[in-house]
Every structure is written in structure tokens, then in C-alpha cells.
Amino acid sequence: MKIVFMGTPDIAATVLNRLYEETFDIAAVVTNPDRPKGRSGAPVGSPVKEAALRHGTEILQPEKAKDPAFIARLQAIAPDVIVVAAYGHILKKAVLDIPPLGCVNVHTSLLPKYRGAAPINQAVIDGCAVTGVTTMLMDEGMDTGDILLQKEVPLDPKETAGTLFDKLAAAGADLTVETLFGLQAGSLVPRKQEGEPSYVHMMTKEDGRVDWTADAVRIERLIRGLDPWPGAYSFLNGKRIRLIAADVVPEEAEGAPGTLCGDPAKELCVNTGRGRLRITRLQAEGKKAMDAADFLRGFSLTKESRFTDGV
């Protein structure tokens, strides 16, 4: 079975590396063009490109997946199946129709829940006990294709987007291998997605701005759901503070949302719209991440100090 793999970030590289381990015939790898990175601004290849280079696989990096020359090259390769994992481009019918076994997408949710760009973040923010991975046959819609296989993955109580990312990458790699063997054997029966779909947008830095009028439980989940990127943040004494970890305090708020409670010399406890939140790890702008105790030793706070949503 000849495979073309399409993907860009780390999670896609995890899937691709597993396919190499299983000795599948990877005829070509498609990934985004090299992008400037770091202070030097030098172009850097994607994690998927790095994996392909290590195995000497042909690499295609079209600026757009609808480029006629790119489509012609895919037709010439004549793959039996195209595997797509976090590629970042919508595939048109001209591409979807190339492989006889179809284009298989690896999506990090239990479809039809969390279609779209940030299902991992949203599962943590919404406090899901379980999420998972879906392999599906792609159509021209946004994650609307027929389901091939699904695998559930439970979330830990203190799950972050980063730790869940690792879990789902591993689960997605396993499920992709199982899917490809099933397609090869002709044993898989695609099924329509059932239930009410939900959609999640691409997360941006603005999504991390904390609204202290929300309840403490929601804010704590937001902090975990945006860690490590794009990060939850607020402003304290005019300085931008990234919030990395926090605990919900099972007590009622004793002041306006964003104001400090308890002893600000000993702990960083904040009133919210409902309940209190104890911040345990944070990062001041221009500083390294640190535990709250270390932060408080170098940052003088009083009862009048307050977290706000802007400078």
C-alpha cells in the first residue's frame, strides 16, 4: 500500500514516525513551507519535514494545497491512500479523488464533537472527563467525513493541553496504524457521524485573557487548557502576568472579582465571580516562570492589589 502523508506540527510527526516504524511504504510527505523562527528569523522546517528527511522520503511543500503543479505530482505518485494529520489546509476534490482508498484524516476528538482547529484545548477548558481520536474518510467539509475508527482517552483531573496533546498523539498514531491495516484488509465499514456537532476555532493569544467575573472552576480549566500555548494571562499592578497553574479554593469569594484574598504576603489567592482561585505558578513579563511563593518574595502586594483584564 503506497501512502502519501500530509502534516506539519509535532502531533503529525508522532503519527508519521509510527508509520515509519511499521514499515509502511511512505512514497512522499507533504508539509508546510519552511517558516522563519527565533530571533534570527531563519527559515526552519516543520517537525514532519525533519522526520521525512531522516528517512530520505520525497518532501513536497506547496504554499497552497490547490496548486496545480502539486496536484499533478500527487497524481503521478498515485498513492493508494493519503493520510492527513494536522496539515493545516483544506483539501479540494481534485486531491480527495486521487487515492482509491481515500484520504484518511486523524482528528483529536470524538467526532462530531469538537470539529475544527483546537479540539485538545477545548476539551480541557470544558472539563471533559473523556475525549479521544477519530480517523475518518475526508470529504470537502470541515471534519464532516465518515468515521472509520475511534479511540477514547480519559483526562486526568489536572490535565493540561500539553499533557493531553502527548496522550492524543500516541493514541492517534496507534489508531492510524490500525486504520491503515483495516483499509488494506477491506475490513473497515465507514459510518456517518451521529449527534449534534460542535466547532472550535483556532486559539489566539486573546483567548487567554482571564475574565475574573467568571467562576473559579472555569478560570482554572482555562489556565490548563491554554498551557503551554497560547497561555492564560492577566494584569497585576500594570504588569502582564502569565498564569500557569492554579487551584480552586472551596470557599466563597470575599471581594470583587480580581481582588486578592487571604494574606497576599503568603499566597496569591484571587476572588472570582464565583469562588476563589489560588495561583500556584506564574510568569511575570520578561521573567522566568516560577512558583507563587518565589514570585511573592520579589513582588510586593497588598490587599489593594488587583488583577485586571488590561493595563
Q: Per-residue pLDDT averaged across 294-310, rounded? A: 90
Q: How confident is the model at residue 225 (pLDDT cuts 50, 70, 90)?
A: very high
pLDDT digits (tens, 9 = 90+) for 106-148: 999 999 999 999 999 999 999 999 999 999 999 999 999 999 9
Q: Which residues belong to CATH 3.10.25.10 in the chain?
A: 205-308
Spatial separation of the C-alpha atoms in residues 157 and 34, rounded to whole Å: 37
Length of the chain: 311
Check: CB of residue 3 under 8 Å from CB of residue 85. no
How far CA 69 is from CA of 56, 59, 63, 80, 97, in Å, comes to: 22, 14, 11, 20, 16
pLDDT one-digit tens code per residue, 232-250: 999 998 899 999 999 999 9
Domain with CATH 3.40.50.170 in the chain: 2-200
- List, edge to edge, every strand of the sheet that includes 25-30: 58-60, 25-30, 2-7, 81-85, 103-107, 130-137, 146-154
Count CA within 13 A, CB hemisphere, residue 32. 20
Query: What does the alpha-carbon distance between residue 249 and residue 259 come to, in Å, rounded to a whole number?
Result: 15
299 pLDDT tier (thresholds 50, 70, 90): confident
User: Which amino acid belongs to residue 254?
Assistant: E
User: Whose CA is closest to 231, among 121, 119, 88?
Assistant: 121
pTM of the model: 0.96
Question: Which ranges in 97-160 belong to alpha helices (H)?
Answer: 119-125
State whether residue 300 is helix, strand or coil: coil
Task: Give the model confidence (pLDDT) of 27-81 as tens digits.
Answer: 999 999 999 988 888 999 999 999 999 999 999 999 999 999 999 999 999 999 9
Contact yes or no for 52/29 (Cβ under 8 A): yes
| Pair 284, 211: CB distance under 8 Å | no
Residue-averaged pLDDT of the chain: 96
Superfamily of structural domain 2-200: Formyl transferase, N-terminal domain (3.40.50.170)
Q: Residue 274 carries which side chain, given as an amino acid letter?
A: R
Is residue 167 very low, low, confident or very high in pLDDT (cuts 50, 70, 90)?
very high
Instruction: In whole angstroms, give the CA distance from residue 249 to residue 233.
Output: 19
Task: Supply the pLDDT for residue 38.
Answer: 82
Q: Is the pLDDT of residue 8 over 70?
A: yes
Compute the distance between CA of residue 156 and CA of residue 169 in angstroms, rounded to an integer: 16
Give the model confidence (pLDDT) of 178-191 as tens digits. 999 999 999 999 99
The residue type of 260 is L
CB 278 within 8 A of CB 267: yes
CATH class of 205-308: alpha beta
Residue 100 CA to its chain's centroid (Å): 30
What's the longest Cα–Cα distance across the chain?
A: 69
Residue-level pLDDT at 311: 63
Q: How confident is the model at residue 227 (pLDDT cuts 50, 70, 90)?
A: very high
Q: Is 6:31 a contact under the CB 8 Å cutoff?
A: yes
Predicted pLDDT of residue 126: 98
Segment 213-230 shows an average pLDDT of 98
pLDDT at residue 56, rounded to an integer: 98
Separation CA 259–CA 103 (nearest Å): 52
Quick one: which H or E segment has residue 144?
none
Task: Please report the pLDDT score of residue 275 as a whole number.
Answer: 97
Q: Which residues pair with 85 in a beta bridge?
A: 7
Cell numbers 490500525 correspond to 178
pLDDT for 182 equals 98
